[in-house]
Amino acid sequence: MQYSSRFRHQQLGQDGHGDDDSKANLVRFKSGLPSAIVKDKRGWLLDPVSLALQFGVREFTKIWMPYSVPFTPSKCDLWSNCGAVSCSQVHIGEIRRGDIRGNHRHYSCNETFVIWGAKTKFRLENNQMDGRGYAEVTIGEDEVVVAASPSGTAHALVNVDALRNTYFVGCQDGMVKSNSSNTDFNVWKNL
């Protein structure tokens, strides 16, 4: 199992993704054992609240359990972005082989994802990446990922698998209208 996030840098596994995952603001889990993801003959199951608490993905914790985690302004002062405070809009999606979802930037909400099912590229705008301006990681078909995209940060999911579809759950802390000027579309031309 591998963990990394923008706020707490700690490597729990030996798969070599640590720094890249940290820059892409995500937590990576193998769906096999041992893992924080429960897996049996029916498939896998995760508790997003437990994972967020255990691994410290701040945006994720605030989105999925806004009233369960005590809000302390002093803690928020430690980070540039405290994340969402509620889950106003939830969407579940599929990305077929070779297709893209996202490739946009929301100015009016934070967004958190659970991604699984296929080899998938996750790109997150990160101005600390010299020359590129984004971090990019590849999620394996046997992994489940929790990723956060703070308000004003572009993100994209690209299915690069030869056989399987990618699935995701997205949670936003604000309502987004597709024709709104609060979202920039087609941020990257090189996906």
pLDDT digits (tens, 9 = 90+) for 19-68: 788 888 787 876 655 566 777 788 777 765 456 556 665 554 444 444 43
Q: Which domains does the chain have, with CATH numbers?
A: 18-185 (2.60.120.10)
Q: Are strands 38-40 and 26-30 parallel, antiparallel or unpaired?
A: unpaired
Radius of gyration, CA atoms only, the chain: 16
Burial class (CB in 10 A: 0-12, 13-18, 19+), 98: exposed
Torsion of CA 121, 92, 112, 143, to 10 degrees: -50
In this structure, of 99-103, 116-120, 172-176, 180-184, the range with the lowest mean pLDDT score is 172-176
d(CA 75, CA 160): 38
Whether this prediction's pTM lies above 0.75 is answered by no
What is the distance of C-alpha 106 from the center of its chain? 14
Which two three-digit tokens encode residue 102? 């996202």
d(CA 8, CA 50): 16
pLDDT digits (tens, 9 = 90+) for 95-148: 999 999 999 999 988 888 889 999 999 999 998 888 899 999 999 998 888 888
Dist. CA 18–CA 54, nearest whole Å: 17
- Residue 115 confidence (pLDDT): 93
